[in-house]
Amino acid sequence: MYYVGPLDLLTAFHTALSQPVRPRIWSLREWAERAVRDGWCLLSDLGDVMEQQDPRIYHLERHMKEACKVFGVPIRSTLFRPSSPYSQSLLFDGLSVVDAACLMVTFEQFGFTVDPSPLVQLLSQRISGQQKLSSEEFSLFFYDRLRFRSMVTLATEQAPSNADVEVLQTRTGHRLEWRSDGAAQASLIVKGPRYRPRRPGTELTCDYCGLSYTRGDMDSSREHQRYHSRVRRCFDPSPSALLGRLFGEVGDLAYRVDQRSPKPLHKEMYERAVMFKREMQFDFIQWAAPPARGPIQEDAIGWLICSPDARSTIRGACAFREREGIWTMDWAWIAPNARRQGLMRALWPTLVQAMGNFPLETPLSEAMREFVSKHGTPTQQQQVNGSSSITGGSHA
């Protein structure tokens, strides 16, 4: 982690860490249990707790608020629970228990003999079942695996470039590197006892799905695999058994999807809407994801488009939304490898018969403008010839 702070804070940290210290054995379990139970702790109490473990922190007391600001730990107004909403309660500077744990971890990373493990263990039990974590909870969740393996830097806005390096090895095994030009620029780099430089990953962009990821990073690669599979299901889909049964009953090139349709079909519409949003770089997905429970809420009408030689395989989709009593084509998307094969041209008369002489929502892609100008109704052609276009979008 790299932090930027004022020179007086850097000097205070360097002075404190340069002093010899004998770690104090003092259990934080009782205090940690109380802090987790309360959910908050006062900044002054936290300072006292850390000072009990490392007396050098006493010299940083007047810098504690500045340290919180530099380390991104928010200080909030905290009060003891009053008995009445009209009570004139005193406000104190406080931290949430998660932020307090993060501040203790940061001080430990800089080489102070602070032991946040009792508090981190209690919080880890609470967040272990969560599927989503804040950045603060993330650092606590992997605390045991990353402990003493970090490198942190505290520097002024302009770090010294040619200053001599003062190196110090602490009793805890931390390596301190202090650089200062003697005026207004300084930097303090602290490497943990188990720090080893990590090989940098390679930034790549997948030609197929378009996602940028880091090769060599397990989570980034896993996210790419997940997204790649999602795109592949739309670009090169497998036949759908449900559509195979439905198209055995109807024989058209598209199947209508409305509120009465099965949820799996709404899921297929939603995935194509995601692809449309991605390609057009729009802000919103123009089809609601079907709920796991309860009725369908989407009030638009969609059409899942298939090719004549594979009617159970979805090649694209389009959606219509009613505006002021008129059905308007909201969007249309065809898989890239199925474009320019006449799917929309063959389907267009069916759509006009089912939805009326519908207008098209703008802006339109250049490909859609070209298609409608050739195969749309006279009214649609008139609209398209007077509308603006954008790059990308659906292709017929």
Per-residue pLDDT tens digits for 303-332: 999 877 777 789 999 999 999 889 999 999
Phi, psi of 266 (to 5 degrees): -65, -35
Phi, psi of 215 (to 5 degrees): -70, 135
Pairing of strands 186-191, 175-180: antiparallel
Element (H, E) at 375: helix 366-375
- Domain boundaries for CATH 3.40.630.30 within the chain: 236-390
Q: For residues 243-248, give the mean pLDDT.
A: 66
Q: What is the pLDDT at residue 177? A: 93
Per the omega criterion (within 30 degrees of 0), is the bond before 349 cis? no
DSSP letters spanning 122-143 = HHHHHHTT-S---HHHHHHHTH
Which pLDDT tens digit goes with each residue over 203-241?
889 998 888 988 877 788 889 999 999 999 999 988 877
How many angstroms separate the CA atoms of 303 and 30, rounded?
62
192 contacts 149 by C-beta, under 8 angstroms: yes
How many angstroms separate the CA atoms of 110 and 192, rounded?
8
Residues 6 or more apart whose CB falls under 8 angstroms from that of 9 comprise 63, 66, 67, 70, 154
Which pLDDT tens digit goes with each residue over 352-372?
999 999 999 988 888 899 999
Which pLDDT tens digit goes with each residue over 122-157?
999 888 888 888 888 888 998 999 899 999 999 998
How many angstroms separate the CA atoms of 352 and 369, rounded?
17
HSE-CB at 237 with a 13 A cutoff on CA atoms is 24
pLDDT level of residue 199 (50, 70, 90 thresholds): confident
How many angstroms separate the CA atoms of 131 and 124, rounded?
13
Which pLDDT tens digit goes with each residue over 64-76?
999 999 999 999 9
- CATH 3.40.630.30 for domain 236-390, yes or no, is yes
Phi, psi of 310 (to 5 degrees): -150, 75
Pairing of strands 389-390, 364-365: parallel
For tokens 């939304």, the residue is 321
Element (H, E) at 47: helix 43-53
Q: For residue 121, give Cα distances in angstroms to 33, 52, 125, 190.
A: 10, 20, 6, 24
Query: Which of residues 332 and 252 earns the better pLDDT score?
Result: 332
Per-chain mean pLDDT for the chain:
88
Q: For residue 345, give Cα distances in angstroms to 68, 124, 372, 396.
A: 63, 58, 9, 7
% of the chain exceeding 70 in pLDDT = 95
pTM here is 0.60
Return left, alpha or beta for 297; rule: phi > 0 is left, psi -120 to 50 is alpha, else beta: alpha
Q: For residues 378-389, give the mean pLDDT.
A: 77
Residue 360 gets which letter from DSSP?
B
CA-CA-CA-CA dihedral for 141, 144, 148, 154, to nearest 10 = 10
Q: What is the distance between the terminal CA atoms of the chain, rounded to a whole angstrom? A: 50
Q: For residues 3-24, give the mean pLDDT.
A: 89
